[in-house]
A and B are shown apart, each in its own frame.
Chain A
Amino acid sequence: MEIKESPRLFATIFLRGKSFECKTGMTLRDSLIKLEINPETVLATRRGEMITDEEILKEGDVIKLIAVISGG
């Protein structure tokens, strides 16, 4: 019997080596807030391209966050 891979119902967000699974259909900003990550402190990329906070997360999205705050 052929086993079909079920579609991923979550988007995955990576920050500093940690991964978080998020519901799809929400904006990135709302997802970050839910994860208690201040959107002011990160930038997000998907497939190497920068995306805005208002991007709606889709199934299977892999979002890499870049921390932007440095010690100075």
Chain B
Amino acid sequence: MRQHKLALCKDHYLEWVPEQVERAIQKYHMFSHEDRILVAVSGGKDSLSLWDILWRLGYSVDGLYIGLGIGESSAEGLGYSDESERMARQFAEKHALNLHTVSIPQVYGESIPAIAERTHRGREKPCSVCGLTKRHVMNRIAREGGYQVLVTGHNLDDEAAILFSNTMNWIPGYLVRQGPVLEANRAGMVRKVKPLCRMYEREMAAYALLRGIEYVYEECPFVEGSNTIYYKEILNKLEFDRPGSKINFYLTYLQAKENGLFAPLADTELELLHNCPSCGQATTAPGECAFCRMMAKGKKP
């Protein structure tokens, strides 16, 4: 690991990763052993590794899998969403852990691509519909289940790419809000945390591989050409030339924020927060939240 000037054998690596994650949990006051935690699992390397790490660290953690209805299963194999669900279920069964599953097509009557097509939301891709729906469902299940905290598997590369995007586009509200912890500062919101925010994506893939965690290798079919991938490629070029660039970019940003260099006033949305009259979740939009409006759009009364 050039970025840390560190080389470890398999056994020590598998001890080192949970130690690093535990440090992040403590440093950013994410949660304690008394909290009930819900981890959102996609069937990918990051979220399943995170669930494994939290379980090994002795936290009380259940999983949530959201079936998006992407890719069709056939005689030749499972579609993207079905294969992802299989991985999440397999992990939960192997470790005797509790997994909640929510199928979007079953609960809402349409898959994510179908909702995107109906509502014309997003530019030929259902990614914004997917993000909005997942955030809504994750928050709902965490609230209904009485979980104190919702945990996601965002790694350093994810965070650095988001930060890069927000900086390139100068989005002050997002720049003020981004961080390892998103507080529940309104009724209807659940605290969200990212314990892998300081772990490189490559480190997490190595952890999954060395721990023998089976995860879905296949990418979402809609990811090709995404901005996130583009920004990650740019950041990885920087990392190749200057090891440590990604972690330095992210940690110096967090430090700057802690030092008050980003004015809270920039986050104008916080002032506007209220509860959606339909679902009760927090929203900045007047009246119903974006999810409820999206689901009602184009449907006959």
Interface residues, chain A, with chain B CB atoms under 8 Å away: 38-41, 43, 45, 50, 52, 66, 68-72
The docked-state distance in angstroms from the alpha carbon of A69 to that of B229 is: 8
The docked-state distance in angstroms from the alpha carbon of A38 to that of B228 is: 17
Q: Are the C-beta atoms of B226 and A66 separated by less than 8 Å?
A: no
Q: Are the C-beta atoms of A50 and B206 separated by less than 8 Å?
A: yes
Q: A40-B236, A50-B210 are in contact. Are A72 and B205 (CB under 8 A)?
A: no
Q: Are the C-beta atoms of A68 and B226 separated by less than 8 Å?
A: no
For the complex of A and B, 10 pairs with smallest distance between CB atoms: A71-B223, A68-B205, A40-B236, A72-B158, A68-B202, A72-B228, A40-B239, A71-B226, A40-B240, A69-B232
- Interface positions, chain B 43-94, Cβ under 8 Å from A, are 44-46
Q: Are the C-beta atoms of B201 and A70 separated by less than 8 Å?
A: yes
Nearest CB of A to B22, in Å: 23
- Interface positions, chain B 201-237, Cβ under 8 Å from A, are 201-202, 204-206, 209-210, 217, 219-220, 223, 226, 228-229, 232-233, 236-237
B202 CB contact (under 8 Å) in A43, A45, A71: A43
Q: Is B289 close to A, CB under 8 A?
A: no
Q: Are the C-beta atoms of B44 and A50 separated by less than 8 Å?
A: no
Nearest residue (CB) in B for A41 is B236
Q: Is B274 close to A, CB under 8 A?
A: no
**Additional A-B contact list (16), CB under 8 Å, known A50-B209, A66-B209:** A40-B240, A41-B202, A50-B206, A66-B205, A66-B217, A68-B201, A68-B204, A68-B205, A69-B157, A69-B201, A69-B232, A69-B233, A71-B229, A72-B154, A72-B161, A72-B228
Q: Is B7 close to A, CB under 8 A?
A: yes
Task: Kindly list chain B residues whose C-beta atoms are within 8 Å of the C-beta of A50.
Answer: 10, 206, 209-210
Task: Kindly list chain B residues whose C-beta atoms are within 8 Å of the C-beta of A69.
Answer: 157, 201, 229, 232-233, 236
The docked-state distance in angstroms from the alpha carbon of A40 to that of B223 is: 19
The docked-state distance in angstroms from the alpha carbon of A52 to that of B13 is: 13
Nearest CB of A to B81, in Å: 14
The docked-state distance in angstroms from the alpha carbon of A68 to that of B158 is: 12
Interface residues, chain B, with chain A CB atoms under 8 Å away: 7, 10, 44-46, 154, 157-158, 161, 201-202, 204-206, 209-210, 217, 219-220, 223, 226, 228-229, 232-233, 236-237, 239-240
The docked-state distance in angstroms from the alpha carbon of A18 to that of B237 is: 22
Q: Are the C-beta atoms of A45 and B209 separated by less than 8 Å?
A: yes
Q: A68-B201, A68-B202, A69-B201 are in contact. Are A38 and B223 (CB under 8 A)?
A: no
The docked-state distance in angstroms from the alpha carbon of A31 to that of B228 is: 27
Give the residue among A41, A50, A72 with the most B Cβ atoms within 10 A. Answer: A72
A38 CB contact (under 8 Å) in B10, B161, B237: B237
Task: Kindly list chain A residues whose C-beta atoms are within 8 Å of the C-beta of B161.
Answer: 72
Task: Kindly list chain B residues whose C-beta atoms are within 8 Å of the C-beta of A70.
Answer: 44-46, 201, 219, 223
Nearest residue (CB) in B for A68 is B205
The docked-state distance in angstroms from the alpha carbon of A30 to that of B286 is: 56
Task: Kindly list chain B residues whose C-beta atoms are within 8 Å of the C-beta of A72.
Answer: 154, 158, 161, 228
